[in-house]
Amino acid sequence: MMNQSKQFLVILFALSSFLSCNTFKKSTNSGMSPDKPNADLIETYWKLTELMGEPIVMTPGTKKEMHMVIKKQDNLVNGNGGCNSFTGSYTVLEGNRISFSKLTGTKMACIDMEKETTFMEALQKADNYAIQGKILSLNKGRMAPLAKFEAVYLK
C-alpha cells in the first residue's frame, strides 16, 4: 500500500512540474518563431519603451509598467499609462493602418502624469504601425515614431 502511495506522489509531482514548465513557456512567448520573425500585433503584451523619442524609465511616481494589449475580441485595447488603467477600441486596416478611439481610463492622481498624458495622446494620434521582430512602432504619417513598444509575452 505504501509503495502505491509513493508511486502516486512521484507521478503527481512529475505531472505538476511538467505543467508548470509548459505554462511558463507560454507566458514568456513573444509571438515569434523561425517561420514568423515578427511578433503579432494582436494578443501581445506590448511594453512601452520609448515615447516621442525619449526612453521610458520607471520613476518613483510610476506605479505600473506602461503597456498595452490589443485584443482580438471586440476590437478592444487595454493597458496602463503608469498610473491609470485604460481601455478603448481600435481599427486596423490594410497597409498597416491603425486608429485608436474611445480611450477611457481610471482617474487616479499620481506624481508624474505628464508621461501618461503624452502616451494617451500618442495613441490617439497614431495612424499607422510597423513591427520589426519584437519592436512595435506607432507612427503618424511618415514622421518619427510616436511610441515604441517591445513584445514581452502573449496574453
> For residue range 29-43, what is the model confidence (pLDDT) as tens digits?
444 455 568 999 999
pLDDT at 19: 36
Mean pLDDT of 13-38: 45
What is this structure's pTM?
A: 0.75
User: CA 16, CA 13: separation in Å to the nearest integer?
Assistant: 5
Torsions phi, psi of 51, nearest 5? -135, 120
User: CA 112, CA 75: separation in Å to the nearest integer?
Assistant: 30
Torsions phi, psi of 78, nearest 5? -145, 165
Note whether 81 and 66 are within 8 A (CB): yes
Note the pLDDT tens digit of each residue in 107-143: 998 887 899 999 999 999 999 999 999 999 999 998 8
Note whether 77 and 87 are within 8 A (CB): yes
Tell me the average pLDDT of the chain: 82
Q: Cβ of 32: how many Cβ atoms within 10 Å?
A: 15
pLDDT band for position 8 (cuts 50, 70, 90): very low
